[in-house]
Amino acid sequence: MAYTAMSGNGTTAGDDPLQTAVWRLRSRACWADAAALLQPVTAPAALQRASLLVERCLYTEQGWEEAEDALRTAEALAHSDDERGAAACERGQLAYAATLHSVRDRADEARAALGRAAALIAPGAQGRALLDFRRGLLAENLAHSPQAARAAYRRAHAGATAHADPLLLSFTWRHLAGLALRDGELAEARHGFAESLRIREELGYLVGTAPALASLADAESEPEASRLREEAGRLFRLLGGVPTWLSRQLTPPAARLLRLLAQPGGLRFALRVRQGRQRTTPLLSLTASAPEPDEIRPLLAALCTDLDLTAGPVGISFTVDTPLGAVTFE
């Protein structure tokens, strides 16, 4: 089967011993060691090996050449539509990861590859749910279209449920919850994040547990939020700082902002208030020609001010344009 590396195969008693060993290594962020157990002499083995190395790129921002080599081998061995579709899906995911981490802009390649996969993988097939999920990632994080992302995640969620794929369900729960949180739907967000965390803990998916804890913390109030972030930080450090991108989520927004002040080139700020699904015009906007702490204090004060608005969930969206790129705090 072409999708074993993404399905959580090897997580239950009675599974193939090789898959169990691969899963244990993968779940502990040892993707290279897991890939080394697989001999890429058949299409399924080559595809699974490639998917492990692609996942390593997404979580560590390293190993790009090894993933490309493994993917080329998988593409060469793929013959059936199912196998070629799975290879195209991995090609799209690698291009997405490179774009997301600003290694190189490969957004067009990612869209084209996932489009090829959609033409090859039959509706209702096991690999279709994973494909739908990855199309949701592109819609959310590259196209910035939450509506399209939500539709894709829901298709992926239904497919993962139909094919009894708990690991993929943990991802769809988490990303659907993230969209709910953006819309101010706190109860829905908490439920989705809690389900994602529950599944990952049951599977022993250690590398995915810290992100699940951090996401749930974003939807909780204090002191529970701090407790969850502390636990996420402990796991994050235990795994050597993987996933690399989680450090930004574990750092309180004010601390992240002050850290950015050390960067040369000045900063530009825009503070917006979000009420339910509606965004207002900027509440505060200012430019700092130099990163002086005194210039940012009014903005930090505004972040801590209780806003007297009409009834409904209220959130603050704060975007900082920095020499390193735009950073948004919500």
- Convert the pLDDT of each residue in 88-108 to its tens digit: 999 999 999 999 999 999 999
What tens digit of pLDDT does each residue of 141-153 get? Answer: 999 999 999 999 9
Query: What pLDDT score does 11 carry?
Result: 59
Helix/strand/coil percentages in the chain, nearest 5: 65, 10, 30
Task: Determine contact, residues 67/53, Cβ cutoff 8 Å.
Answer: yes
State the Cα–Cα distance between residues 130 and 150, nearest whole angstrom: 14
Query: What pLDDT score does 318 carry?
Result: 52
Q: Which amino acid is at 196?
A: S
Query: What pLDDT score does 125 carry?
Result: 93
- Residue 310, phi-psi category: left (phi > 0), alpha (psi -120 to 50), beta (remainder): beta
Instruction: Find the Cα–Cα–Cα–Cα dihedral 200, 201, 202, 208, rounded to 10°.
Output: 30
Residues of the chain with pLDDT under 50: 1-8, 254-267, 269-297, 300, 302-316, 322-324
CA neighbor of 312 nearest in space, from 280, 281, 278, 272: 278
State the Cα–Cα distance between residues 176 and 194, nearest whole angstrom: 12
Query: What pLDDT score does 247 carry?
Result: 87
Query: What pLDDT score does 250 carry?
Result: 84
C-alpha separations of 33 from 9, 23, 24, 163, 258 in Å = 17, 11, 10, 28, 38
Query: What pLDDT score does 303 carry?
Result: 47
**102 in helix, strand or coil?**
coil
**Which pair of structure tokens corresponds to residue 327?**
């950073």
280 DSSP assignment: -
Helices 126-141/166-182 angle, 10° precision:
30
Q: Widest CA span of the chain, in angstroms?
A: 65
**Which pair of structure tokens corresponds to residue 263?**
């960067």
CA neighbor of 330 nearest in space, from 256, 282, 274, 261: 274
**Which pair of structure tokens corresponds to residue 274?**
């979000």
Tell me how far apart the terminal alpha carbons of the chain are, to the nearest angstrom: 40
**Which pair of structure tokens corresponds to residue 162?**
């139909």
